[in-house]
Amino acid sequence: MQTRTTITLALLIVLLSFSAAYSAPGDRYSEHFAPLPRRADSLLNPLNPPKVTLGKMLFFDPRLSRSGVISCNTCHALSTGGVDNLPTSVGHGWQIGARNAPTVFNAAVLDTQFWDGRAATVEEQAGGPILNPMEMASTEELAVETIKSIPGYVSLFKKAYKHDKEPVTFANITKAIAAFERTLLTPSRFDRYLAGKKGGLRSEEIKGLDLFVSKGCVSCHNGVGIGGNSFQRFEYGTDEGRYNVTGATADRKVFRVPSLRNIERTYPYFHDGSVWELGTAVRTMASIQLGVELTDEETALIIKFLKSLNATRLTIKLPVLPPSTDTTPKPDPLWSPLAEEVPEDSADAVGGLEPIESE
């Protein structure tokens, strides 16, 4: 009997310890952070099932690119943290972009899009890569022509935009993609912790969170995105940042603060993708931005906290895309905006052209 009682008490101690390791404090740090919302809806682009379904198909469809090779998912791969895990993305004609691809996960809850904040919403962002000659290299006219040539898409657009006289427009293409992106929210154990629910953070992750706050990281990485709602000067690399958009001297080397959600999976880091190790990124930011030199132990604890920001559940089922028809524009992977200026009989008419500079 005594042995059984001893075993029972031991089990209770273990269970209590386990519960404490996944504690949730309710409103602790609520002044700095907020849990992800259940939805990221928009009054200007209300979500409905047909639109989200359509947007998901368009997100994965490479026919929106001139080459027929690149889709939104190419640079924002949903299987690898919403990024391509490259320093900078590879676009049309193997052109190399100038900046690291930000994750598409949770982008809809951020205040601005792109490293320089040149788009305010995912709706504004969605059309940029399609039209960029370095990325998908299409045009509004070509994108609409392609979609209109595919009966399966025409039918889906009529369902998604049943009140529109002309459902298939470039604006509606981007709205549909954005509607799908608005569903790409990835709750984490940190959200459970903020909400005061069980299954929150382990004790070492809480220590890392305490350091994250006390060392000053939270001054920039805060809010629902743990970043993404402010701009900060970052004297790193050659990129002039937001200055390229505004032309204001005060915006030199100023970038949007990235979200840290799923940060373990969105390597390499920084706007130029020059740092591959999360520990190096943490120490570099602490040193440059805060003037703080972290010890190895402090760095390890902060990383434990950052890893708690990974999605706890994420299932993406690949869509089956409608087939092309005889009238669907054919892929043109060798197209270049300079090709039209080169005589057809020139040796440079196909290939050998200088890469286009990023916008």
Q: Which residues are catalytic?
A: 135
CA atoms of 131 and 123, how far apart (whole Å): 14
Return the structure tokens found at 121: 């919403």
Amino acid occupying residue 123: E
What is the C-alpha separation between 263 and 311, in angstroms, rounded? 10
Asked if residue 66 lies in contact with residue 252, where contact means CB atoms within 8 angstroms, the answer is no
Question: With contact defined as beta carbons under 8 Å apart, do 125 and 310 qualify?
Answer: no
Please give the Cα distance from 195 to 190 (Å, whole number). Answer: 9
Query: In angstroms, rounded to a whole number, what is the distance separating the alpha carbons of residues 143 and 303?
Result: 43
How many other C-beta atoms can be found within 10 angstroms of the C-beta atom of residue 340? 8
Residues 6+ apart with CB under 8 A from 92: 65, 66, 67, 70, 133, 134, 135, 136, 137, 333, 335
Placement of tokens 């940042």 in the chain? 241
d(CA 202, CA 189): 10
